[in-house]
Amino acid sequence: PVAGSEGAVYRRKQMARQLPEHDQDPSKCHELSPAEVKQMEQYVRKYKDEALGVGDVLLPEDMAQVQAGRQAGSGAAS
């Protein structure tokens, strides 16, 4: 989104909800051992390098097809 736009504000809110500070910053956590801090730092570095910002974009008509496929596949057998 364009900086300062409504979309950018929404994205920031969503990111804060999906990745709260205490899930990213050991200093925001209480009573972590040094080993836990190191493990958390490694985990955060890994997900930022490998997963953050990765996603699929679908047009509305494509999303409707995906949802229809899920509904058809979840029906109970008679």
Query: What does the pLDDT look like over 9-62, one tens digit per residue?
Result: 998 898 888 888 888 899 999 899 999 999 999 999 998 888 877 777 888 888
pLDDT of residue 9: 93
Q: Is the residue at 76 inside a domain?
A: no
In a domain, 1, yes or no: no
Number of domains into which the chain is organized: 1
Report d(CA 42, CA 46) in Å as an integer.
6
Q: How far apart are CA 35 and CA 47, in angstroms?
A: 19
In a domain, residue 33? The reply is yes
pLDDT at 78: 46
C-alpha atoms less than 13 angstroms from C-alpha of 6 in its C-beta half-sphere: 0
pLDDT reported for residue 27: 92
CA-CA distance, 13 to 8, in Å (whole number)? Answer: 9
Range of the domain at 43: 6-71
CB 32 within 8 A of CB 26: yes
